[in-house]
Amino acid sequence: MSRRRTPPLAPEDRAEALAPLLANGWRQADRRDAIRKDFTFGNFVEAFGWMTRVALHAEKLDHHPEWSNVWNRVEVTLITHDCDGLSDLDIRLAKRMDALATP
């Protein structure tokens, strides 16, 4: 059984979808059709708690981030691997991450 291929963001939708994310601290990744953001929290427990909440949403979307955590900082890259670029799943997960990071 093969996994369904996720369509990439349509060129005509791309700028509109990315504009609010780029305005909120996301940036284009180097040499990849991906977006990146660094999140900083008060301490390790807050960072790990945020990651746990994000993980629940990622699992529901069946779309998982590339991320790493060092103490109070979480570095995130979002890309849809089965289309080798950005898709609506990345936009949705980025918005959810931002919402969960807002106190």
Strands 35-40 and 73-78: antiparallel
Reported as a single tens digit per residue, the pLDDT across 32-45 is 999 999 999 999 99
Residue 3 resides in a domain: no
In this structure, is residue 5 part of a structural domain?
Answer: no
Report if residue 81 sits inside a domain. yes
Task: Give me the DSSP letters along 52-79.
Answer: HHHHHHHHHHT---EEEEETTEEEEEE-
For the chain, the domain total comes to 1
With cut-offs at 50, 70 and 90, classify the pLDDT of residue 1: very low
In a domain, 38, yes or no: yes
Q: How far apart are CA 2 and CA 16, in angstroms?
A: 31
Give the pairing type, strands 66-70 and 73-78: antiparallel
What radius of gyration do the chain's Cα atoms show?
14
**What CATH number did the domain enclosing 30 receive?**
3.30.1360.20
In which domain, by residue range, is 58 found?
Answer: 11-101
Q: Does 4 fall in a domain?
A: no
- Confidence at residue 90, expressed as pLDDT on a 0 to 100 scale: 97
What confidence category does residue 48 fall into, taking pLDDT thresholds of 50, 70 and 90?
very high
Whether 6 is covered by a domain: the verdict is no
- Report residue 17: phi and psi, to 5°: -70, -40
Q: Can you tell me the mean pLDDT for 71-86?
A: 96
> pTM here?
0.92
pLDDT tens string 52-68: 999 999 999 999 999 99
Q: Measured between alpha carbons, how far is 3 from 86 in angstroms, rounded to an integer?
A: 17
